Amino acid sequence: MCQKTKTVYRSSEQDWQTMIRKSAQIILLILAASALGCTFHIQPVVSEKVFANPPERIAANVLLKVPDDFWEFEYVASYEGREIRYFLGRSAWENIPALFRAMFSSASMADDVGENPKYDWIATLRWGQQNSYVRPFVFGIETNLQVDFVSYDSKKSFSTSAKGKGEAHAYTQSSLQSAGDDGMRELMINLQERILSKEQLFVLEK
């Protein structure tokens, strides 16, 4: 009987340890799931229809140069203790070529041309300072993009920049997505206006 009782005791201890391990695993799974749910992932979307078609394009051939880290650029903000990741680089990459084609006689990506491309200007894109703010019932994001222009002979150069702002009025994925969309849309529109306002600077002496 003693041997039997001892065996039963070991079995109960093993069951208890098994239950503890399973409980610990469940807790870890819950914590992992919670961690995944603490981040919003937003990639702003902009329709090409927002780009204005000027009466006349700027008479210049532009070669677009994009730094390697431009496409991968993310802006990370926090709101109500949760992380918000805006994939700004991917969104801008999808819109910049169409934006430039709407403004200039021709616009090509540097990676898409041969060894001796014909161009008047090189345009290099880079991100400026990004900001976010929180007000009662409002989360806002402000994006900033700069373009540096250098003539083919390096005799002329100038830069211009633009900002875009979007606001979310609800703490939801859809509202934060709309804020990102609005900010990127405003950024593209403002950038186009700023570049078109400098049309005279693109005139080169041949």
pLDDT in tens, 162-189: 999 999 998 888 999 999 999 999 999 9
Enumerate the domain spans of the chain. 1-36, 39-202
d(CA 88, CA 78): 16
Number of H helices, E strands in the chain: 3, 9
pLDDT in tens, 88-118: 998 888 888 889 998 999 998 877 655 666 8
| Both structure tokens of 59 | 């008479």
The rounded percent of the chain whose pLDDT value lies above 70 is 76
Q: How confident is the model at residue 63 (pLDDT cuts 50, 70, 90)?
A: very high
Q: What is the pLDDT of residue 115?
A: 62
- CATH 3.40.50.10610 is right for the domain spanning 39-202: yes
d(CA 167, CA 162): 17
Whether residue 10 is predicted with pLDDT greater than 50 in this model: the reply is no
pLDDT in tens, 115-149: 666 889 999 999 999 999 988 888 999 999 999 99
Q: What is the pLDDT of residue 87?
A: 92
Q: CA torsion sign, 110 to 116 to 117 to 119?
A: positive
d(CA 126, CA 146): 5
